[in-house]
Each structure stands twice: as C-alpha cells, then as structure tokens.
Amino acid sequence: MSIDPNVSAPRGQQKVLDAWSKRLRGRNFITCEDIDIPAINRELAYISLLGSEDGEYRFRLAGTGLQQVFGGEARGKATGDIDVCKGGMMWGELVTRCMLRAVPVSGMTKLSDGSVHFWLRLPLSSNGVEADMVLCHDRYLPPEALADPDRAALHVDMALRLDCGELIAA
C-alpha cells in the first residue's frame, strides 16, 4: 500500500470535508447532531462512524456503498474484524491521530489489486466536549480512478443505484 499526495480525491470527499468544516463553530470537531445530512446526501453510502470501545474501533454506522467492500454489514464490528480494514493505517493509527489531535486526516492508498482507496477521517463528538468518534468517508475505486477520480466515482455510484438497472417482473 502507498499514499500518493499528487492524486486529487473525488469531489464528493471535498463536499464531506466542506460540510464538516462549516459546522465547526470554533471547535476542532463537530457533534453527531451537527452532521449536515442534506449537504452530504450523495455521499452517505460511503460514510461510516467509528467509536472506540474496549481499546478497538467499532463501526457504529456504515453506508451501503461500503457493504460490498467490507463483505457485508459492518455496524457493531471492530475494524480488525473486517479483512479490508486489517492492518490499514487509515483504520487504526490515523483514526487515533484524528481523534486524539482533533484534526482531519486524509489520503489515497493504492491497493495490491490495483484499485484505489480514497479516505477521509474527521473528528466527531458524541457529547460535545471531546472528539470521541470519527466520521469516515471511504471510496474504493477501480485503477482508472488515478486518471479521473470523479468519473470513476460516478460509475461506482451508478452501479450502486437500484433504479438504474433493468427490472424484471416476477
């Protein structure tokens, strides 16, 4: 795996960051209630929330766009229980950095199969006092995403939509 700062992230990731930034109100984190759902509605399938429990990070929520990558529903599972998350800095060390320092962390990782993982970690608070959760945005895209991340993201989005395929009467 490698992180390449010269590749731009899909626009949807910037929308999530912008929506988060607009709700800071002088803090370094937002609260769960501050999440601007309408501003990020097109990215919700790729959003997850991580909380720390018993020394590990657990998914409190994971969007439907992540289910195929995660091998099913992730809610309630620890990051170490999901193959694609095991050993990834963006699911461990960088989540910790985001939460403890209350700073956004993002990057792009080329995976061994040639696909590309664009990821964003944003500090989040359940109590309004401290960052004790992380709002994650993850886009797993095909190798051609390196040339045009927005186009690759659009193709993945269209494949996820239920209203774009052919319906066959039962």
Question: What pLDDT does residue 4 have?
Answer: 42
Rounded to whole angstroms, the Cα distance separating 167 from 169 reads 7
Give tens-digit pLDDT for 2-40.
344 555 789 999 999 999 999 999 999 999 999 999 999
Residues of the chain falling short of pLDDT 50: 1-4, 163-164, 167, 170
Question: What pLDDT does residue 31 have?
Answer: 96
Residue 67 lies in a domain: yes
Residue 166 lies in a domain: no
Please state the pTM of the whole predicted model.
Answer: 0.87
What is the domain range of residue 131?
2-160
Residue 168 lies in a domain: no
- Total count of domains within the chain: 1
Report helix, strand or coil for 149.
helix
Q: What is the CATH number of the domain that holds 130?
A: 3.30.450.20
Question: What pLDDT does residue 54 have?
Answer: 83
Residue 169 lies in a domain: no
Q: Are strands 47-53 and 56-62 parallel, antiparallel or unpaired?
A: antiparallel
Residue 167 lies in a domain: no
Residues paired with 52 in a beta bridge:
57
- The region that residue 131 occupies, defined by phi over 0 for left and psi between -120 and 50 for alpha, beta otherwise, is beta
Residue 90 lies in a domain: yes
Question: What pLDDT does residue 2 have?
Answer: 35
Residue 20 lies in a domain: yes
């501003």: which residue's tokens?
A: 39
Q: Exposed, middle or buried, 21 (CB in 10 Å: 0-12/13-18/19+)?
A: exposed
CB 123 within 8 A of CB 136: no
Q: Exposed, middle or buried, 165 (CB in 10 Å: 0-12/13-18/19+)?
A: exposed
Residue 136 lies in a domain: yes
